[in-house]
A and B are shown apart, each in its own frame.
Chain A
């Protein structure tokens, strides 16, 4: 799967899509592929205020656990409740229906984020 170029990425493999003062956050195709079939998702409570890089929750496959982190600072305004019943959405559609949380942004540090091309290059370097 190619990396969409309307998204920004972190080096911890989260993506974010900007949407009028809020961002939608998920994990990348690469991250879900590394993790394997997701069987359980632990999401934060809405209303929670978070700092950038703060741990937001965990994703579990049968034999691995991985945390995911806030790419920006702000307030959790919505979580993807469909994932409770359908954690497979993260595998099936990581950049779409498999989103994790929406954050109302209080601050964003562009320097920590990569565009699609830069993220692809980062992945290529990682694999060496």
Chain B
């Protein structure tokens, strides 16, 4: 008898007798014989201790980010991880409950989402934020499709800066193909920012949206006001993507700079790297577009006695009501990850997030200064461009070679910049955070000095 199955053999016999069936097989009599099997070919069961040993074995085959100084970023960052975050996530009231469709017994989850929506609005400078999406890449897709819908499908081009994360752009292509949305890439200029002239030349009456990421894939801060103005000049929706959400601790969210949608990846807010997931897509927009927004929304209301309470609202946008005409097919989202982000943000608070972002900024500035002194072919690809916490370094070899040689020196130095192509030089994308101690930074610089 397995401990996760509630009824033992005696129980089953008793229930079978009560419902008037001679055998369990009778319950499956609707299934054609040819689809039935005696057993499936998975390995034999493991007891709990053996199971843990097996999984610890698999975990032990991986080199963790704590095993050597790590400077990997490219959309997944290693920020502080307060113990209280996981302690809250471990409460069964949160992690073993379903989507809060019954508000009377889900006020905990609903209020958390309401607080999450509020904080995302504050960080993005926009009026409405949803309850979460899967990740940054799919958030960009949802934003593009929303821009297409706002223009009622009459404008079929969307302009995407080449400096938007290459994986996000690829994912957008996967989705856009089927819906007749043409994704056009706008190149970057020599300072690693979106080429403003190319953008102005590309906009037109058939463009539904303009997508810009800042800080961009190469770490560089984009000229957001100019991009928003170019989008609005042709009546398109201006979309800002944020892949490093910690940057919002020091940089204004796009809403304050004219953007209509700000969306992206919030893994930085207390969510482990976890080999790429689950992470947290966030999505905010202007109130006037809320009816075209994807995903769940929580609103404030009152109960029969006038007590404040929260419930899912504006649900007519969603698949369970509008079916084929829904604003997205999303149902299950990343609610528990939104809880993690909310706990993390509320623990740090405004002053903590600001200090964290400044710490990233200071460490990046320190590293940029030191790179110039290393020699041996090491240099900043874009020394004149402003960055938050990530930068493209060129060195004595290709990106993948540098990764390997630096690992031999005991440092996880970064991500090869041309892993997915791109019209920028081949080097290392190096990210620092508030966790990159002086000691680790020195180790990085020293290792670079040895790789010539």
Contacts and interface: CB of A to CB of B under 8 A. Distances in A.
B322 interface: yes
Interface in A42-91: 42, 60-65
Contacts of A42: 291
Nearest to A58: B316
Contacts of B316: 40, 60-65
B100 to A, nearest CB: 15
Contacts, number: 17
A63 B101 CA distance: 12
Interface residues of A, number: 8
A42 B325 CA distance: 15
Residue of A42, A63, A64, A65 with highest tally of chain B CB at under 10 A: A65
B385 interface: no
B111 interface: no
A67 B291 CA distance: 16
A64 B316 CA distance: 6
Nearest to B312: A62
B19 interface: no
Nearest to A62: B315
Contacts of A65: 316, 321-322, 325
User: Interface size for chain B: under 10, 10 to 19, 20 to 34, or 35 or more residues?
Assistant: under 10
Contacts of A64: 316, 321
A42 B321 CA distance: 16
Interface string B320-358: 011001000000000000000000000000000000000
A103 B291 CA distance: 26
B115 to A, nearest CB: 23
Contacts of B315: 62-63
A62 B318 CA distance: 12
A34 to B, nearest CB: 15
B380 to A, nearest CB: 52
Residue of A40, A61, A62, A64 with highest tally of chain B CB at under 10 A: A62
A40 B325 CA distance: 16
Interface in A106-125: none
A36 B322 CA distance: 16
Nearest to A64: B321
A93 B201 CA distance: 53
Contacts of B325: 65
Contacts of A61: 316
A61 B322 CA distance: 12
Nearest to B322: A65
Contacts of B321: 63-65
A65 B315 CA distance: 10
Nearest to B326: A65
A60 B314 CA distance: 9
B304 to A, nearest CB: 15
A96 B325 CA distance: 30
Nearest to A61: B316
A120 B231 CA distance: 53
B317 to A, nearest CB: 9
A102 to B, nearest CB: 24
Residue of B315, B316, B321 with highest tally of chain A CB at under 10 A: B316
Contacts of B291: 40, 42
B328 to A, nearest CB: 15
B288 to A, nearest CB: 13
A13 B302 CA distance: 33
Contacts of B322: 65
A65 B325 CA distance: 10
B110 to A, nearest CB: 15
Nearest to A39: B316
Q: Can you list the 8 inter-chain pairs with the closest CB atoms, starting with the nearest?
A: A60-B316, A65-B316, A65-B322, A65-B321, A63-B321, A64-B321, A63-B315, A62-B315
Interface of B: 291, 313, 315-316, 321-322, 325
Interface of A: 40, 42, 60-65
15 contacts: A40-B291, A42-B291, A60-B316, A61-B316, A62-B313, A62-B315, A63-B315, A63-B316, A63-B321, A64-B316, A64-B321, A65-B316, A65-B321, A65-B322, A65-B325
Given A63-B315, A65-B321, 12 more contacts: A40-B316, A42-B291, A60-B316, A61-B316, A62-B313, A62-B315, A62-B316, A63-B316, A64-B316, A64-B321, A65-B322, A65-B325
